[in-house]
Amino acid sequence: MEFDADKFSSLGAGAAFIAALVFCLWLWRGGAFLLSMWRKPTPRKLQYKITLSDFVLLAFLTTLTLFLASKFSAFLTRYTSDEAVLSYAGTSLMNVLFILSAIAFLRFSDSKPRLFSDKFSTLIALLKGAYSMFISLAIFLCILAIWVAILNFFGANLKEQAAVEFFKNLEPAALKISAMLAVVVLAPIWEEFFFRGFIYGAIKMHFGSAISAIVTSVFFAFIHASLYAFLPIFVLSLLFIFLYEKNGDLRVSMGAHSLFNLFNAVGLMMQ
C-alpha cells in the first residue's frame, strides 16, 4: 500500500500551529533534558550494574517465551487454519509470557534494577504518562506528515506495518476488541521493561544517557519494521526515555505508551 504526500499535507498544515505551541511547552518542561545530555552527564539514579548472568537469564527467558508461543500456535493448527486467529493467539500468549519473564527477571537477576518509584501510585504514574503523551500528539502528527512527505519525495515505496495490516483484517469484531486490549495493556508493559528498563539502562551504564537513548530508540523503531513509521517511533521512544528518566518510574512511560497504542487501535477500528 503506497501513501501519497498529498494525504498528509492538510494534516501537517492543520497540526503545525498546535505543534509549535506544544513543542514550546515540551521544550520548556523537559526537552532541554535531551539537549543537556550532550553537554554534561545526567544523574545516574536509574543506572544499575548489568552482569553476564543477567544477560544469560534474559536471553533464556526470551528464547523460552518465543519457543512456547510458537509451539502454542503450532498446537492450535490442529483446530483452526485461520491465520489471523493463529497469529493473534500466538502474539497474545507471547505478550503474557514476556510480562511473566520480566517479573522473573526482576526477581532472580543479580542487578535487581529499581524500575519503579515510591513517589507515585500506579494510577498517578499511568495518568502522568498518558497526559504527557496527549500533549505531545500534535508533535508526532506533524513529524509523521513531514517524514512521509520526505519519503515520497525520494520515491520510497511505503507500506504499513505487518501488525497494522493484521489488526485491520481481524474478524469478528470481538476478536479485534480483544486484540486492542492486548495492544493497549499487555504490549506496553513488556516493551517498556525490555527497551527502556533493560536495554536503555544497560547501554547507559557504559556509554551515558545520550548514546543509550539514541541506540535504544533506533532499535525500538527498527523492530517495528516500517520505514513509514520509523522516525515517529524513534522520537516516541525518546519521549518514553525522557519520561522514565524524569520521573524515575517505568509506569509513567507505560502510561504514555498505552495511550499512544490506544489512539492507533481506535483509529484502525474506525477504518
pLDDT interval class at 235 (50, 70, 90): very high
Tell whether the model's pLDDT for residue 111 goes beyond 90.
no
Q: pLDDT tens for residues 75-103? A: 888 877 776 677 777 778 888 888 888 88
pLDDT score for 133: 92
Calpha distance 269→153 (Å, rounded): 30
Give 89's contacts (C-beta < 8 A, 6+ positions apart): 72, 73, 76
Provide the percentage of residues in the chain whose pLDDT is more than 70: 70
pLDDT interval class at 7 (50, 70, 90): very low
CB 185 within 8 A of CB 258: yes
Instruction: Please compute the mean of the pLDDT values over residues 183-190 and round it to a whole number.
Output: 90
pLDDT score for 18: 46
Calpha distance 45→31 (Å, rounded): 19
Instruction: Please compute the mean of the pLDDT values over residues 175-188 and round it to a whole number.
Output: 82
Kindly report the pTM of this predicted structure. 0.76
For 38-66, letters b (16+ CB in 10 Å) and e give: eeeebeeebbbebeeebeebbeebeeebe
Torsion of Cα atoms, 175 then 179 then 184 then 188, to 10°? 160
Q: How far is CA 204 from CA 50, 148, 245, in A?
A: 11, 31, 11
